[in-house]
Amino acid sequence: MRADVVVVGAGPAGLATAVALAEAGREVRVIARGNGFTHWAPGAVDVLARAGGRPVDHPSDGLPLLPARHPYRLVGEPLLRRALDRFQLLTAAAGLTYEGSLDANRRQVTALGTLRPTCLLPAPAARPLDGRVAVVGLDGFRDFAPELCARGLRAAGHDASARSVAPPPWGHARHFHAVDVARAVDDPGWRARLADRLGPATRGAGVAVVPAVLGLAGGHQAWADLERRVGVPLVEAALAPPSVPGMRLYQVWLARLRQLGGRLQLGFPVTGVEVADGRVTTVVSEGASRPVATRCAEVVLATGGVAGRGIRAGRDGTLVEEVAGLHVEGFGDRMGFFAEGFLDDHPLGAAGVAVDDQLRPLDAGGAPAPGGLRAVGGLLAAHDPTAEGSREGVALATAARVAELLAPDPSPTKG
């Protein structure tokens, strides 16, 4: 097979890169083991929630506190800002509205009733918690406990109370997941019947907090319709994976990629690259019956860090980059991987591939190698997506940087 650019990985960084390159006029093929953090994270755009060990209220103010090799420092604030603007335009055009800006973090309600800091919020999570808050769950839904959520909101000073409604009749009896509910909500008839139940449960409330399951296929349209029918602002609370808001985003990126002629191969881990004359020529991936070689001019690695399986952590403390065997700074032994507390900053969370300011991987001696290879997103060294709360921001900023580098002459956007 042949492609102009191969992007390895289909998480936020891989998809954002593929779309940005396709918009810049390059022919792109994404090859990935499976879904990435779109399905794991709660569907917001985290840019910078913590820096230097402290919470950050204004991401732009936190950027100078980051280490010099941090991806944001490599790409610069202006490009990060443009990347967020472009993301908001792209998603809005596809029916997903993201609110917020780099200048102030916002708060996303979670199923635990905590308020997680993030930068851009999808509209269904962005309504202010004004007045009395009705937290409404669905009977039999394991992944949202309304009283737990209400309790957390009360602790944060809100006048919140919990109730639960029975889902309208459907085929799932007592065995269903967030995605099942989201698909049911996509059906206008079921949605109307759900609204009939949510109405009484939210009467008199200033706002209602519900699990993030309000539709999957049509962007934010199902949420907006339901809100109109119920007559109370609806706030989607972030749930444990799989993330319906993240899956909406995945669908938008994928649709845009396909619209621009890009391709996605999911379920085929990339196992290696071939190099000739110091330059990558081919990506080798698993195929149905035998390895598949895809010849290409450029490769962008968006395979993630250890969490995304871009890097494998060995029993002896070493770290191995899985696709190209790139240099990754390891640890003396495995006791260095993790901190003492489960919720602490784990050194392994920040492990990754060091790159130059053109996102070219550096070897142990600090020299770029080999040609035609770039790295984006969670794979990059010197940042911890979870501990910093920077996952989607780094993905978008480094994707924008690669698009800029691989399409240096900015031509009008296609599509």
Partner 1 sequence: MADLETQVVVVGGGATGTAVLRDLALRGIDAVLVERADLGTGTSGRWHGLLHSGGRYVVKDPVSATECIEENRVLRRIAPHCVEDTGGLFVLLPDNDQAFGDAFVEACARTGVPCEELRPAQARRREPLLTPRLTRAFAVPDGTMDGWKLIGGFVADARARGARVLVRHPVVGMERDGDRILAVRARDAATGEDRLIGCQWVLNAAGAWAGRVAALAGGELRMAPGKGAMVVMVGRWVRGVVNDCRMPGDGDIIVPVHQVAILGTTDKETDDPDDNSVDPAEVDFMLDSAAELVPAIAGGRVLRAFSGSRPLYKAGDDDAGSRDLTRAFFVLDHGGRGGPGNLLSIVGGKLTTCRQMAERTVDALVARMGLTAPCTTATTPLPGADQGVHRLAEPLATVERQAGYGELVCECELVSRRRIEAAVDQGATDLDDLRRQLRLGFGPCQAAFCGWRAAAIVDERRPGATEPLANLERFLAERWRGQRATTWGDGAVQALLNQAIYRGTFDLAPAGGGRGTA
Give 98's DSSP letter.
Answer: E
Applying CB under 8 A, among 2, 142, 228, 414 the residue interacting with partner 1 is 142
Which range of residues in 94-102, 196-204, 239-247, 362-370 is near partner 1 by CB under 8 A? Answer: 239-247
Residue 39, classed as helix, strand or coil, is coil
CB of 114 to partner 1, least distance (A): 4
Does 288 participate in binding partner 1 (rule CB under 8 A)? no
Applying CB under 8 A, among 7, 30, 111, 359 the residue interacting with partner 1 is 111
Give 362's DSSP letter.
Answer: B
Q: Report how many residues bind partner 1 under the rule CB under 8 A.
A: 62
- Rounded CA gap, 382 and 398, in Å? 13
Contact 88, 246 (CB under 8 A): no
Residue type for position 104: A
Strand order in the sheet with 160-165: 160-165, 133-138, 207-211, 234-237
Q: Closer to partner 1 by CB, 11 or 215: give it.
A: 11
Site for partner 1 in 149-208 (CB under 8 A): 151-152, 156-158, 173-176
Applying CB under 8 A, among 1, 148, 275, 297 the residue interacting with partner 1 is 148
Does 98 participate in binding partner 1 (rule CB under 8 A)? no
Does 124 participate in binding partner 1 (rule CB under 8 A)? no
- Can you say whether residue 215 is alpha, beta or left, with left for phi > 0 and alpha for psi between -120 and 50 degrees? left
Contacts (Cβ under 8 Å, ≥6 apart) of 320: 311, 312, 314, 328
Does 58 participate in binding partner 1 (rule CB under 8 A)? no
13 C-beta neighbours (distance < 10 Å), count: 36
Site for partner 1 in 253-282 (CB under 8 A): none
Does 65 participate in binding partner 1 (rule CB under 8 A)? no
Residue 64: C-alpha distances to residues 56, 74, 380 (Å): 12, 12, 18
Contact 393, 45 (CB under 8 A): yes
Applying CB under 8 A, among 107, 154, 197, 229 the residue interacting with partner 1 is 107
Q: Closer to partner 1 by CB, 123 or 240: give it.
A: 240
Does 2 participate in binding partner 1 (rule CB under 8 A)? no
Which range of residues in 16-24, 77-85, 115-123, 250-258 is near partner 1 by CB under 8 A? Answer: 115-123
Query: Where are the alpha helices (H) located in 239-390, listed in sequence order?
Result: 244-259, 385-388
Applying CB under 8 A, among 3, 21, 41, 84 the residue interacting with partner 1 is 41
Q: Closer to partner 1 by CB, 117 or 122: give it.
A: 117
Site for partner 1 in 346-405 (CB under 8 A): 346, 348-349, 385-387, 389, 391
Q: Closer to partner 1 by CB, 213 or 307: give it.
A: 307
Does 334 participate in binding partner 1 (rule CB under 8 A)? yes
Does 82 participate in binding partner 1 (rule CB under 8 A)? no
Applying CB under 8 A, among 76, 241, 269, 272 the residue interacting with partner 1 is 241
- Rounded CA gap, 333 and 336, in Å? 6
Element (H, E) at 99: strand 98-99
193 C-beta neighbours (distance < 10 Å), count: 16
- Rounded CA gap, 10 and 33, in Å? 8
Q: Closer to partner 1 by CB, 12 or 370: give it.
A: 12
Which range of residues in 11-19, 20-28, 272-280, 330-338 is near partner 1 by CB under 8 A? Answer: 330-338
- Rounded CA gap, 300 and 296, in Å? 11
| Strands 270-276 vs 279-285: parallel, antiparallel or unpaired | antiparallel
Residue 32, classed as helix, strand or coil, is strand
Which range of residues in 95-103, 214-222, 255-263, 304-312 is near partner 1 by CB under 8 A? Answer: 304-312
Residue 319: C-alpha distances to residues 10, 170, 351, 394 (Å): 22, 48, 8, 22
Q: Closer to partner 1 by CB, 146 or 372: give it.
A: 146
Contact residues toward partner 1 (CB under 8 A) are: 37, 40-42, 46, 55, 107, 110-112, 114-117, 129, 140, 142-143, 145, 147-148, 151-152, 156-158, 173-176, 238-241, 243, 305-307, 309, 312-315, 333-335, 337-338, 340-346, 348-349, 385-387, 389, 391
